[in-house]
A = this chain, B = another copy of it.
Amino acid sequence: MMEYFQAVEQRYSHKERFLPTPVPLNHLERIAKAGLAAPTGTNSQCVRLVLLPDRESVQTLCAAAPTAGMETAPAAVALLTDSSAQQAWHNFELEDYAAAAENILLAAVALGYASVWLDSPYFDEEKQQTALTILGAPEGFTLRVVLPIGLPDGEGSRRGKIPCEERMFYRKYGVSR
């Protein structure tokens, strides 16, 4: 259990390997439920999750788009959206899935794990279709992101951030404190 701002500070995109230590199912469920608690545009709740609670199920999805994370993670969450849940006047699928994914990443950190937001491997139409078939997704669903979860195998690399002072202004754009 971790304080909110500590989780935000400790989160990073773990692009390297994971240790084989299993993630208890109650931890994975807690992480997933944090994702489902995120806000959604017009309360459409278009996000659906498939929990992959062991190496075998992670490896099965890994076949669609191998990455270092998916090849080693002891657990993962696959996040899909249901386009039919959207209101005609605006589609909030991307915002909805991103807010849910961020909650999942922070929840993983809060329970002592590392994770990473894997979306681009599934931009490729063939890999997307393969992954949807493996997951048994209904027609009209899109696999938006897969989040491998586990203990990191070594310290992961962190990319640099632009100083906050250059991205945060007061009352008007460009005005410093």
Bound complex: CA A13 to CA B39 (Å): 7
- Chain A interface residue number, banded: 35 or more
Is B90 within 8 A of A94, CB to CB?
Answer: no
Nearest CB of B to A177, in Å: 8
Copies of this chain, count: 2
Bound complex: CA A78 to CA B96 (Å): 19
Is B161 within 8 A of A36, CB to CB?
Answer: yes
Say whether A63 faces chain B, with CB atoms less than 8 Å apart: no
Which residues 94-130 of A sit at the B interface, judged by CB distance below 8 A?
A: 94-99, 101-103, 105-107, 110, 117, 119-120, 123
Is A4 within 8 A of B36, CB to CB?
Answer: no
Given contacts A4-B7, A80-B173, 12 further A-B pairs with CB under 8 A are A9-B37, A36-B164, A37-B161, A39-B105, A49-B169, A50-B169, A90-B120, A94-B94, A96-B98, A102-B102, A106-B106, A138-B173
